[in-house]
Structure 1
Amino acid sequence: MKVILNRTVISAEQGDITAWNGDCIVNAANSGLFGGGGVDGAIHRAGGPQIAEECALIRSKQGGCLPGEAVATGAGNLPFQAVIHTVGPIWKGGSAGEADTLAKCYKSSLALAASIGARSVAFPNISTGIYGFPKPLACSVALNAVAEYIHALEGEDGPPERIDFICYEDDNAGLYQEALKNIGKSAAE
């Protein structure tokens, strides 16, 4: 499923983000930038030790990465310009600003991608695994944040040409595809 917002193509599909074809991928990282489980572990395994070494340098200089922020490393063995690491919020019931922090993950990742010249970006489902963010709410927050970012740069040279949500699980892919259908209907009206 694809929609176009201000010349940016947004799509969602089920798959492996490390096998995606584009400029840079986003990693759902932890604050220490240590390769963990889920998508983080998959990216570190596929990218090889170079990603971990660059993450260690960021840890030594900055102490890691705070929730909502993003940092970039090379892609190691992966065929991308860069891997953008962002730290999503741990779900605490919704009253600790989790939605705002998650939205900031997407916006800061897109801003970083633009600063390195990436024209295409792939996102995983940030915070919906071990961090426990409810999947339907995470989908809504992610798509709204991306749309806000794109609309804020209308007429500028900033937004990527393509933003893909690569969902490892079928249920997440279905949520994003259905939400994109609704965005497509709204844009057509």
Structure 2
Amino acid sequence: MPETKYAADISSIREAQAHIEPFMHKTRVLTSESLNALSGRRLFLNVNVYKRGNLCAYLYSGAFKFRGACNAVFSLDAAALSLAAKLQGIPAYVVIPKNAPKCKVENVIRYGGQIIWSEATMPSRESTAAKVLQETGALLLHPHNDRRIIRGQGTISLELLEQQVPQLDAIIVPISGWFSYM
């Protein structure tokens, strides 16, 4: 797809959806009377904790992350990237600092990623990643600034629209570096 002014538009998001649809599980939209009362609005929640491989947001590959990683492979999260690569039959080299939580490392391994250790500094991670790219010919996927990742994440909006949520006025999705660590 040709580059556009914005990282994602409706046609690029639909294209991403076509790429990842065979791998995604639809999540039903829920509502909460408590949140409705607090907000004074009728809120609808697409709860990604029920998605593939996501029992607990901080322990497993999140569906929102998986959407982006799956579209890019065809990383927001090392485990999501590992799973997306595994489903496509390609290797995932994941640069992880030596002080990373054990559960994150175990998830990368469980989903088929190859751990490449680095020191816990940005220069170390960048130089380690550059070395991996040079040695393997792999492509670097920026976890938050890659159009393919953003377009894959955008597919959550299509899922909400497809479920015909009544009187949908806005879709609010937290997208930032900190979100990937939730």
**TM-score normalised by L of structure 2:** 0.27
* Higher relative contact order, structure no. (Cα contacts within 8 Å, ≥ 6 residues apart): 1
Higher helix share: 2
Q: Work out which of the two has the higher radius of gyration on C-alpha atoms and give 1 or 2.
A: 2
Question: Normalising by structure 1, what TM-score?
Answer: 0.26
